[in-house]
Amino acid sequence: MRNPYAPGAGQRPPELAGRDRELRQFEVTLERVAGGRPERSMVLSGLRGVGKTVLLNALRGQAVKRAWGTGKIEARPEQSLRLPVAQAVNAAVREVAHRHRDPDRVDAVAGVLKSFALGTRLEDRKGIRWQPAVSIGTDVAATKGRADSGDLELDLAELFTDVADLARDLGVGVAIFIDEMQDVSTEELGALCGACHELSQQGAPLVVVGAGLPHLPVALAASRSYAERLFRYVAVDRLPRAMADRALLVPAGGEDVDYEAAALDELYRLTDGYPYFVQAYGKVTWDAAIASPIRVADVREAAPEAERELAVGFFGARFDRATPAERDYMRTMAGLGVDNGDSVVTTADIARALVRRPQSLSPARDGLIKKGLVYSSERGTVAFTVPHFGRFLRTQRP
Ligand SMILES: Nc1ncnc2c1ncn2[C@@H]1O[C@H](COP(=O)(O)OP(=O)(O)O)[C@@H](O)[C@H]1O
Ligand SMILES: [Mg+2]
């Protein structure tokens, strides 16, 4: 019952270890943006399970603490940003509206928000355009002629400008958080960059903070040449030894439980410092131990259970989404990768190993990228998005 650990996607860890620098940096960003000073926003990138979502949520918490208006979305492949952004902005407006002294100004912004949302045009497979029913929870009439041109970049710039002005009246700002940002299309990423660029030139207090897989910075750079000047790229990675220990020790200390040094050695060997694994192994080890301090024997006893749980929940759930051809492709990748299979492999080597022409493997590669199992930061190379995935596949019988 007292087990403090929290394995699971987006699960808030009992101790957010090793992220102090990012949190401090974001405090400065919020302060500068609220003051209308030039400042780059933040984009987090890294493999699955390193703690991007959790860090993004913590950054949002900092903005909320400063009474900023905030909203968050999770991007999906082949879904336009417009409606999710409208909903996130709506949440941010609601957070500042009740403190604003001029209800007419609030209504004006709500009207623009509505017209922005109504600008959503979806195209079905036959190319027929239709407008979705929009519900963003405001009963204000849409304002004609603002943020409704249909051009996402222009509309975002107008919407963001009006919302930022509203927040500025209160001496605060607006922060929009976008998780799984690599799933936003290049075109829409470009529109988003364009709007952010415009806002930063005005010194308007609005930031877009993103998180996504390791190739997100590359995707942003491909969408707009000046993306690098808009965002500070933060690589979210494995925890160094001292921080991995901290992630285990601090929550245990809260329950008057300690670890023997050898147990911590063994846990780091198993988890490699990957936050998801730290939580997963920490949890089963706690359950296996009968007394404090937790010992290396407890870790060894618990490890197979942790592996089983990861095989089902972390690795297997993803592997199951792949087609047979995609699975062959990944097994070949796993065979070529060194260490735990987290290394980058060239598509030429994969083709050679499968005795196929590289072009004939493009569908499998593209499918895996779309499913978020594989990423490519550099032309002609691929790598797994999930740490230790290569090792996991090598232990599976085909
Ligand atoms: N800094 C950290 N210290 C300890 N545990 C963490 C940390 N960051 C994340 N975790 C844990 O790791 C797991 C994965 O976090 P998540 O944010 O979902 O990763 P990602 O979004 O990168 O896939 C969660 O169980 C979370 O509690
Ligand atoms: Mg995540």
Res 144: pLDDT: 84
User: Which of the four pLDDT bands, split at 50, 70 and 90, describes residue 140?
Assistant: confident
Res 142: pLDDT: 85
Question: Is it true that the peptide bond before 103 is cis, omega within 30 degrees of 0?
Answer: no
Among 15, 54, 209, the mutation site with the greatest number of ligand 1 atoms within 8 A of its Cβ is: 54
Res 398: pLDDT: 62
Query: If you measure from the C-alpha of residue 52 to the centroid of ligand 2, how many angstroms do you get, rounded to a whole number?
Result: 5
Q: 8 CB less than 6 Å from ligand 1?
A: yes
Q: 7 CB less than 6 Å from ligand 1?
A: yes
CA distance 387 to 48: 7
Res 128: pLDDT: 55
Q: 248 CB less than 6 Å from ligand 1?
A: no
Average pLDDT over residues 206-213: 98
Query: If you measure from the C-alpha of residue 245 to the centroid of ligand 1, how many angstroms do you get, rounded to a whole number?
Result: 15
**pLDDT of 204 strictly over 90:** yes
Q: 18 CB less than 6 Å from ligand 1?
A: yes
pLDDT digits (tens, 9 = 90+) for 184-203: 999 999 999 999 999 999 99
pLDDT digits (tens, 9 = 90+) for 335-379: 997 766 678 999 999 999 999 999 999 999 999 999 999 999 899
Res 373: pLDDT: 95
**pLDDT of 124 strictly over 60:** no
**pLDDT of 145 strictly over 90:** no
Q: Whose CA is nearest to atom 13 of ligand 1?
A: 276
Res 341: pLDDT: 63
Q: 57 CB less than 6 Å from ligand 1?
A: no
In which element (H, E) is residue 346 found?
A: strand 345-346
Q: Is-contact 279 1, C-beta < 8 A?
A: no
Query: If you measure from the C-alpha of residue 285 to the centroid of ligand 1, how many angstroms do you get, rounded to a whole number?
Result: 18
Average pLDDT over residues 242-268: 98
Query: If you measure from the C-alpha of residue 275 to the centroid of ligand 1, how many angstroms do you get, rounded to a whole number?
Result: 5
The residue among 78, 75, 110, 116 whose CA lies nearest residue 96 is 110
Res 139: pLDDT: 73
Query: If you measure from the C-alpha of residue 60 to the centroid of ligand 2, how many angstroms do you get, rounded to a whole number?
Result: 14
189, exposed or middle or buried, with CB in 10 Å at 0-12, 13-18, 19+?
buried
Q: Tokens for 121, please give them.
A: 């045009």
Strands 122-123 and 381-384: unpaired
Q: 318 CB less than 6 Å from ligand 1?
A: no
For residue 95, how many other CB atoms are within 10 A of its CB?
19
Q: 51 CB less than 6 Å from ligand 1?
A: yes
Query: If you measure from the C-alpha of residue 358 to the centroid of ligand 2, how many angstroms do you get, rounded to a whole number?
Result: 31
**pLDDT of 136 strictly over 90:** no
Res 126: pLDDT: 58
Q: 212 CB less than 6 Å from ligand 1?
A: no
- pTM for the structure as a whole: 0.94
Query: If you measure from the C-alpha of residue 171 to the centroid of ligand 1, how many angstroms do you get, rounded to a whole number?
Result: 33
pLDDT digits (tens, 9 = 90+) for 272-310: 999 999 999 999 999 999 999 999 999 999 999 999 999
Res 138: pLDDT: 61
Res 127: pLDDT: 58
pLDDT digits (tens, 9 = 90+) for 222-244: 999 999 999 999 999 999 999 99
Q: Tokens for 241, please give them.
A: 């030894």
Q: Which residue has the higher pLDDT, 74 or 316?
A: 74
The DSSP call for residue 71 is: E
